[in-house]
Structure 1
Amino acid sequence: MTASEDLRAGFHLAQFNVGTLRYPLDDPRTADFVAALDPVNALADGAPGFVWRLVEEGQADATGMRPAGADVIINYSVWESPEALWDFVYRTVHLETMRRRREWFERHVEAHLVLWWIPAGYVPTVEEALERLDLLRSQGPSPRAFTFSSSFTAEEAAAHEAAAHEVVDEEGAAGAEPAVL
């Protein structure tokens, strides 16, 4: 295992995306989307590299949570690697929901998907996800908030965080605060 692979093994990839509904979830025009939720979520739960997904308490998914707006649903999960997430999204039946997304969701002008590295075992919060999405929207891709097409490695993210958290103490000696991805 290389040093880069060893570092990545200590991190997982968080993904958060939002979708603005064209119609309410109980509208017949979204029936196919709603019907796909349980099977697609079950597929994700069993996918190689899957770690965690946000589920509303007492529910099977997070579609009832609306932290980004009344008509905006969220999807939030953690994966062992970008490859595992990519394989699930684009190499399973999940791809069919992606192909049909314009039937159910408005086209987003701003970024609607954000990725970032987190320490393995850490469960990220919804507030953190919204902050990362806002960071991507306001500043573009960085080691703290990126996309599949503008990605960064766990090593790049850790180096970026370490540099950002370096502080100078009163004697002028450089120290480092713990990096939190």
Structure 2
Amino acid sequence: MPRLALYTFGVLKSPLADPGPLTREFYERGEAVYRKISQHPGYLAHAEAPDGDRGVLFDADWGAWGEFAVPTWYGKGRTAETTALATTLSLWTGLRPAFDAIYTGVHREALNRRYDWFERTGHPNHVFWWVSDGVIPTWQDGVSRLEHLHDHGSAPRAFTFQHSFSPDGTPVKVSGVRPKSDQIR
């Protein structure tokens, strides 16, 4: 049975190593969000570096999730001291469980604060695509899909909640989702 892959990417206003209160708050919220989402029905897994320290993304061993990659338009740092990004790569059983996890509870609260932490880049900040059972998407897959979404809009290869597709490529609506632009910012 196909599974839903989700890649998210955002450029932070401050590097991950910044000791300031906004960065500290971002981490605290992020830890609470991960704990809650990992217990959500329909959540399967997410990319996690076993030995990852704060800000160490580019040199971490991500195992089956592949070598860490970022979109070509990311122009900030790539060291533990200068990296200014937040990104996730996860697997879900379907669109409805992912939507419910993302737009309710602690994650919804965090989304309401996103512009305190993230720059507005003019690029989409998430992308979905379907993968076959047993396939682990890679960071490069996520980057490729996000860039495809930016360049071409929603299609079965790369889509958003607002313009979703079933595993066979048929357009589908997720109840509760209001139509917006293809490119979520």
TM-score when normalising by structure 1: 0.75
- Preserved CA contact (<8 Å) 2:127 2:149: yes
1:65 to 39, 57, 60: 57
Runs ≥4 in structure 1, deviation > 3 angstroms? none
2:122 to 77, 98, 109: 109
1:156 lines up with 2:148 in the alignment = no
1:63-97 deviations in Å (ceiling 9; x for gaps)? 63253243222111110011111110112211111
Q: Which amino acid aligns with 1:127?
A: Q
- Preserved CA contact (<8 Å) 2:153 2:159: yes
5+ long unaligned stretches in structure 1: 1-9, 158-181
Bigger-Rg structure (1/2) = 1
Structure 1 pair 63/144, CA: closer, same or farther in 2 (3 Å)? farther
Q: Which amino acid aligns with 1:78?
A: L
TM-score when normalising by structure 2: 0.74
Rounded Cα–Cα distance in structure 1 between residues aligned with 2:17 and 2:28: 11
- Preserved CA contact (<8 Å) 2:9 2:87: yes
Rounded Cα–Cα distance in structure 1 between residues aligned with 2:14 and 2:112: 18
Structure 1 pair 59/77, CA: closer, same or farther in 2 (3 Å)? same
Q: Which residue of 1 aligns with 2:11?
A: 20
5+ long unaligned stretches in structure 2: 59-68, 78-83, 171-185
Helix, strand or coil: the match of 1:85?
helix
Aligned identity (percent) is: 29
Structure 1 pair 85/64, CA: closer, same or farther in 2 (3 Å)? farther
Deviation of the 1:150 alpha carbon: 0.9
Measured on the aligned residues, the alpha-carbon RMSD in Å equals 1.8
